[in-house]
Amino acid sequence: MSKSYFNYCDCSKSWYYTFMIKEKDTKAVPCILAPAGSKASFLAALAAGADAVYCGLKNFSARMEAKNFTIEELAVLTQLAHKKDVEVYVTLNSLLKPDDLDKAGRVLEELERLVKPDAIIIQDLAFVQLARQTGFSGELHLSTLANVSFSTALKLVRQNPDINRVVIPRELNIDEIKAMASACPQGLDLELFVHGALCYGVSGRCYWSSYFGGKSGLRGRCVQPCRRLYTQNKQTKRFFSCRDLSLDVLVKVLKPISKVRVWKIEGRKKGPHYVFYTVRAYKMLRDCENDPEKKTIAKKTALNLLSQALGRTGTHYNFLPQRPQNPVNTEDQTGSGLLVGKVQGAKQKFYFVPREELLSGDILRLGYEDESWHAINRVGRYVPKRGRFYLKISSGRSPRKGSPVFLKDRREKELEDMLSELEDELVKLKDSKFQSTFNARLPKRLRKKAPVFELNVYRKPCSRNIGQTGLWLSKESLKDLPRSGLPKTFWPRLWWWLPPVIWPDNEKEIEGLIAVALKNGSRNFVLNAPWQMAFFKEKAGKSKVGKGFNLWAGPFCNLTNALSINKMASFGFTGAIVSPELGCKDYLLLPKHSLIPLGIVISGNWPLSISRILSENLKTNKPFISPKGEEAWVRKYGSGFWVYPNWKMDITAKKNELQKAGYNLFVHLIEPIPAEVKLKKRPGLWNWNLGLS
């Protein structure tokens, strides 16, 4: 690693500089979208030549651990960005609780009056209605947390003209991306992550952090339990900690796909060094194809930049279906930052020998964040490669010998000078004041009384399935049903539950399974993403859901407020099962403004996370243990790996209270338990008393 990027690439004189800052042709090339979690990172994105910047506010962002911005700060930064022809997207991609709606509307109104962002990025469909109510004029982009994961879904998304773009999942391979692009209707664009951190769970389908203490990843407060050490069969490893996504030179395959309008870089918790290096690299990789003479050196330079961006080890993940890479490698160091050495020494005289030279001002992290002794050190002077740097360790803490040392952030003088010039431009811009008094307009409560009933949901049919019964829709359950001994009259009473994640390569299979169920008289379905309603629409767009059909929005739709539930009613759902993440106060408020009957999961095995991958070192159907002694297991269903804790959620004691509040459907999720797993007796109240953070 050279002292800095600026040492081997003279920005003021080289061909590289003139090549990179040439006027962009927005019609011909995809946009490079840069992350910004602080003012310095925002300015670094501008300095690097990003086409657009996305950033969050102090509230309603899926990265609440980033510094983020006040509206006043963002207003001035957006003026500067627009002056340089750079778009600004504001992330409001958090779930909204019932008492968040007024505040979220005021944020939107203030953004419209003071900031004028080009778009907001959302997961909660309540924002669609709030945007209309406040007169927000920017675009609406669906976050990857909204889980638009299969091709047919895009047609349903487009029937909502307020939505202009969809951020598609990181898990897709290039063939699936092409399928999504081919199905993408006119007026809708796609956005794709090309670089940055990978979550173990599918976006919008991870409840791990929330289940272990109310800190919801769907509200930007994830404590990253997937990054921790776990033990199975005496092996203690980071079984769920992923490398970073890095498509690097493979982005050339994306260029011909015109519907993929944006290449997105993850990293709102990263510093300006990371932002500058990654943006420069992907601009070079995007533009070098236009200049064959400089292509080789451009690619080499770009790869060098990415290797020095201070992220984790990179992976292409599933991008190439013929050569998929499992992002979980338990032999890798998956801490954030560049691994530059390992702890040596003893008795408070700890040091390490850097593999790369260190610059004054560099920020080092010793160990992982989940280790009790981990620490941050700042480098005060230049240290040569293979020199010696003595570590500052707090009294009473002793690092484990051989622990990794990561270079977390770097501030080169040249980059600081560039940011300083932009700061000078900022102070010349004026800010303005406006305080919203907006109050959300909520729908009236459903007046018609609906019947109250309970539903047991199973994986496999059996002769004891009587009364109201649900089955997860799969090839196995459809095959086993005729052999279960249940009469044909059982089919019309059965509630089929669609899987929480459907990928482009299995949507035809799901469509076929639905057709079999319909042919046999089934009329009750629980859809676990709003977009699964697309399976019940005619090609012409007319609803096939007629008299006698009963379609409910399932609990994986993550419904947490009256406006998002109202949106389900507009889609044609006859009822909605609310998110199981909420607390008592929020649950009791929801029925007061619901246009459709509401259901709730009151007991059963709820997954911590659903993923498309599994570590080669972890066995399914066998327990693994967390550092705090919590036990869980993984089971494979279809193309997904479901992670379950060894205790059930259980709020059955609250049924009468919930029924009085207005709930009609009470769900019990019944999961087959592996032989080696012993369920633990715990209250299972989840966030009932805690409330959702």
Of 118-132, 460-474, 649-663, the poorest mean pLDDT is in: 460-474
Q: What does the pLDDT read at residue 26?
A: 43
Residues 377 and 355 placed together within one structural domain of the fold: yes
Crossing angle of helices 413-426 and 39-48, in 10° steps, is: 100
* Residue 346: CATH number of its domain: 2.40.30.10
Residues 87 and 114 placed together within one structural domain of the fold: yes
C-alpha pair distances (Å), 587 with each of 84, 599, 636, 654, 659: 46, 10, 31, 11, 11
Final residue before a domain boundary, out of 372, 388, 421: 421
User: By percentage, how much of the chain surpasses pLDDT 90?
Assistant: 80
Please choose, from the candidates 537, 610, 645, the residue with its C-alpha nearest in 3D space to the C-alpha of residue 204: 610
Q: What does the pLDDT read at residue 538?
A: 56
Residue 550 domain flag:
yes
Per-residue pLDDT for 441 more than 90?
yes
Q: How many domains does the structure of the chain reveal?
A: 4
Cβ pair 84, 548 in contact under 8 A: no
Of 483-492, 506-515, 540-549, the poorest mean pLDDT is in: 540-549
Q: What does DSSP assign to residue 195?
A: E
Per-residue pLDDT for 15 more than 50?
no
* Residue 671: CATH number of its domain: 3.20.20
Q: What does the pLDDT read at residue 488?
A: 83
Residue 180 domain flag:
yes
Cβ pair 405, 383 in contact under 8 A: no
Please choose, from the candidates 250, 314, 307, 298, the residue with its C-alpha nearest in 3D space to the C-alpha of residue 277: 307
Residue 18 domain flag:
no
Amino acid at 423: E
Per-residue pLDDT for 13 more than 50?
no
Residues 121 and 138 placed together within one structural domain of the fold: yes
Per-residue pLDDT for 357 more than 90?
yes
Distance CA 259, CA 191 (A): 8
Ranges 145-154, 360-369, 459-468, most confident: 145-154
Of 51-55, 525-529, 545-549, 659-663, the poorest mean pLDDT is in: 545-549
Tokens at 334, concatenated: 């998956």
Tokens at 49, concatenated: 């030549």
3-state secondary structure 434-497: CCCCCCCCCCCCCCCCCCCEEEEEECCCCCCCCCCEEEECCHHHHHHHHHCCCCHHHHHHCEEE
Q: What does the pLDDT read at residue 243?
A: 95
Report the b/e string of 40-54 with b at 16+ CB within 10 A.
Answer: bbbbbbbbbbbbbbb
Residues 54 and 127 placed together within one structural domain of the fold: yes
Distance CA 206, CA 217 (A): 7
Q: How confident is the model at residue 113 (pLDDT cuts 50, 70, 90)?
A: very high
User: By percentage, how much of the chain surpasses pLDDT 70?
Assistant: 93
Distance CA 215, CA 229 (A): 19
Q: How confident is the model at residue 18 (pLDDT cuts 50, 70, 90)?
A: very low
Residues 382 and 514 placed together within one structural domain of the fold: no
Report the pLDDT averaged over residues 607-623.
Answer: 97
Residues 501 and 586 placed together within one structural domain of the fold: yes
Residue 434 domain flag:
no
Residues 537 and 620 placed together within one structural domain of the fold: no
Residue 265 domain flag:
yes
Question: pLDDT averaged over the chain?
Answer: 91
Q: What does the pLDDT read at residue 59?
A: 84
Residues 394 and 478 placed together within one structural domain of the fold: no
Report the pLDDT averaged over residues 216-224.
Answer: 93
Tell me the pLDDT tens digit for each residue of 68-90. 899 999 999 999 999 999 999 99
Residues 285 and 257 placed together within one structural domain of the fold: yes
Residues 62 and 153 placed together within one structural domain of the fold: yes
Edge-to-edge strand list for the sheet holding 349-352:
344-346, 349-352, 389-390
Residue 513 domain flag:
yes
Q: What does the pLDDT read at residue 369?
A: 84
Q: What does the pLDDT read at residue 212?
A: 85
* Residue 38: CATH number of its domain: 3.20.20.70
Please choose, from the candidates 537, 566, 563, 539, the residue with its C-alpha nearest in 3D space to the C-alpha of residue 549: 537
Residues 287 and 365 placed together within one structural domain of the fold: no
Report the pLDDT averaged over residues 606-628.
Answer: 96
Please provide the distance, in angstroms rounded to a whole number, between the alpha carbons at the two ends of the chain.
Answer: 41
Q: Which helix (H) or strand (E) holds 611?
A: strand 609-611
Per-residue pLDDT for 404 more than 60?
yes
Per-residue pLDDT for 23 more than 70?
no
Q: What does the pLDDT read at residue 432?
A: 84
Q: How confident is the model at residue 692 (pLDDT cuts 50, 70, 90)?
A: confident
Q: What does the pLDDT read at residue 348?
A: 72
Tokens at 406, concatenated: 């990561």
Residue 231 domain flag:
yes
Residue 636 domain flag:
yes
* More reliable by pLDDT, 374 or 379: 379
Alpha helical stretches, state H, 159-317: 174-183, 208-211, 272-287, 295-307
Q: How confident is the model at residue 109 (pLDDT cuts 50, 70, 90)?
A: very high
Q: What does the pLDDT read at residue 463?
A: 66
Domain that holds residue 368: 338-409
Q: What does the pLDDT read at residue 67?
A: 64
Q: What does the pLDDT read at residue 51?
A: 98
Q: How confident is the model at residue 19 (pLDDT cuts 50, 70, 90)?
A: very low
Per-residue pLDDT for 20 more than 60?
no
Residues 252 and 357 placed together within one structural domain of the fold: no
Q: How confident is the model at residue 580 (pLDDT cuts 50, 70, 90)?
A: very high
Q: What does the pLDDT read at residue 398?
A: 80
Report the pLDDT averaged over residues 199-216.
Answer: 94
Report the pLDDT averaged over residues 40-68.
Answer: 87
